[in-house]
Structure 1
Amino acid sequence: MSILITVPGADFSAIGNPKVNKLLYGVPADNLEALYLFESGTVGEAYAGPATDRSGRGNDAPLIPGSVAFKTAGGVATSLDRVTRTGGLAVFSPVPLTDKFTVFGISRNLLPPEAVTSGTVYVIPWSASGDWNTPAQPLMSNPNRGSLNGGDGLLHINQQTSPTGTIAEMGALSFRGTPNNTQAWGGGQVRPGPQMAGTPKDSYIAWALSFDRSAGYTFRALGGGHTIASPEDAAVWIDYQKSVGARHVFGAVGYTSQTVIGEIAMAGIYKNVTKTAAEMDVLIASLKSRMALRGISAL
């Protein structure tokens, strides 16, 4: 046990001593708006939600209607047999999108490469509800799950599977709409996605994304990541999201109308906070340590 003594008005930042970091379930606690650990429920049974918010702020997240979800030892998955494909599962956080935020989680893609005969299938662990057809209440029946790009752009995190996609990877995808519908934020039509050689596709992967309206966003996973520095595009996207009252969506969701198999193990939100790459790497290490308490390792 430790004791934290706070002296009102005192500032000891210049003395150079290490700071005391407040943790909640092993995760840095300052400005933590929601923490979903997906630890409630009986393994093997249908999961009805909501995802309990462990931050103490009461931001429990109900399942999006149409979700298919089962409790697992690692979290919540779309299937127990790793064969049945559905539109996925997602929880709808009451936390709104703001000009600055950081989201994080651990998830995995359970769709085997041989299940994809052509093209690429994407599993989305985080998106904004403004990128769905019905932002105020997303539905699994929406034809544009996490993929709506109607002129204001889109931003989400995804894991991809192709007939040859056997290595663990995770990426962030961002686009502007008309007239820039062939341009990703800040760098052409690309999807930067860190990979880790020698690791299977169905590995648990810890990730984090930090957004700033005035700068762009930074994504971290698998010991790497990327920064898309495009203030104009970021501002257009977040202004639209706020105009429709968008909120955070977490889960294992099939991109557009695709069917997938996936799992979400934990997720959370820092509201009004932008974190550096180094800070997100510390956060990711905390997530992996929490996962280890379940007897499960994460990349």
Structure 2
Amino acid sequence: MSILITVPAADFSAIGNPKVNKLLYGFPADNLEALHFFESGTVGEPYVGPSADQSGKGNTAPLIPGSSAFKTAGGVATSLERTTRTAGFGIFSPVPLTDRFTVFGVSRNLLAPDAAIVGNFLVPWSASGDWNTPAQPLMTNTNRASVNGADGLLHINQQNNGTGSTAAEIAALSFRATPNNSQAWGGGQVRPGVVQSGTPKDSFIAWALSFDRAAGYTFRALGQGGTITDPEHAALWIDYQKSVGARHVFGAVGYTSQTIVGEMAMAGIYKNVSKTAGEMDALIAVLKSRMALRGITAL
């Protein structure tokens, strides 16, 4: 046991001693606004939510209406087998989007790793402003995580085909606003992703994304990642999200009107903080450790 003594208004920063970092379940506690472990419910039975928030902030997240969700040993999946494809499931966080934030989680694609299944993207995180109904996303929305109006869009997704059945992969996706909605933020790739060859397509993958209105975003997964520097489109996107009261959406969601099979194991939000690549890699290490406690390996 350790004891933390706080002296109000005292500043000992000049001493040079190491700083004491408060942790919650292994995660840095400062600015941690929501933490979901998807642990409630009985394995094999329908999952009805809501998803409890372990951050202590009380940000319990209800299921999005129309979700197809079942409790598993790993978390929550859209189906108990791999053949029933649905729009998926999502939880709608009460946490609003801010000019800076960091999201993190563990998810996986459960479609059979068959290159013949193309164009199916599972979305584990998005902003509700990129749905047809931002104030209350619905699984019946035909533009789940894909509304690309005057603001552009941004989300994380996993695809089934790509580099084949023995390469786990995940990416961040961003489009510019119209009339350039086929172009990516920063003039780079629309879907800059990371791949780990020789690993099953259906692996659990731990990931993190940080956003900064004044800079752009950084995505990390599989020990890799990259930064998209585009303050212009980052500002357009977040300004619109805030104007419609957008909040964070997590789950195994079928992109646009696609049907998928997927699973979500953990998710969390840091509010008003855009973490560095190194800090996100540290978050990913904690996610992997917590998955190991369930007897599950996450990449």
Judging changes above 3 Å, is the alpha-carbon distance between structure 1 residues 208 and 119 closer, same or farther for their aligned structure 2 residues? same
Cα deviation for residue 164 of structure 1 reads 5.7
1:216-235 deviation line (CA, Å, top 9, x unaligned): 01010000101001000000
Counterpart of 2:137 in structure 1 is 138
> Which moved further from structure 2: 204-213 or 178-187?
178-187
Cα deviation for residue 66 of structure 1 reads 0.7
Identical positions, percent: 78
Distance 1:124 1:168 in 2: 15
Distance 1:164 1:83 in 2: 22
1:88-126 deviation line (CA, Å, top 9, x unaligned): 010000111011110000011111133x63532100000
Distance 1:153 1:223 in 2: 28
- Unpaired runs of 5+ in structure 1? none
Retained in 2: the 8 A contact 1:118–1:163?
no
Counterpart of 1:155 in structure 2 is 154
Residue 179 of structure 1 aligns to a residue whose secondary structure is coil
Residue 290 of structure 1 aligns to a residue whose secondary structure is helix
Distance 1:11 1:183 in 2: 48
1:241-279 deviation line (CA, Å, top 9, x unaligned): 011110000000001011100000010111111100011
1:154-177 deviation line (CA, Å, top 9, x unaligned): 000000112763211110000112
Retained in 2: the 8 A contact 1:113–1:164?
no
* 1:96-115 map, 5 Å: 96-114=96-114
Counterpart of 1:268 in structure 2 is 268
Cα deviation for residue 297 of structure 1 reads 1.4
1:133-170 deviation line (CA, Å, top 9, x unaligned): 00001000000000111121000000011276321111
Counterpart of 1:37 in structure 2 is 37
Residue 211 of structure 1 aligns to a residue whose secondary structure is strand
1:13-41 deviation line (CA, Å, top 9, x unaligned): 34433322211122111101011110111
Distance 1:82 1:119 in 2: 16
Retained in 1: the 8 A contact 2:113–2:202?
no
Retained in 1: the 8 A contact 2:100–2:273?
yes
1:171-193 deviation line (CA, Å, top 9, x unaligned): 00001121221210002443111
Counterpart of 2:215 in structure 1 is 215
Distance 1:156 1:53 in 2: 22
| TM-score, length-scaled by structure 1 | 0.96
> Is residue 62 from structure 1 mapped to residue 65 from structure 2 by the alignment?
no
| TM-score, length-scaled by structure 2 | 0.96
Distance 2:76 2:102 in 1: 22
Kindly provide the amino acid, as one letter, of the partner of residue 271 in structure 1: K
Counterpart of 2:127 in structure 1 is 128
Distance 2:111 2:70 in 1: 16
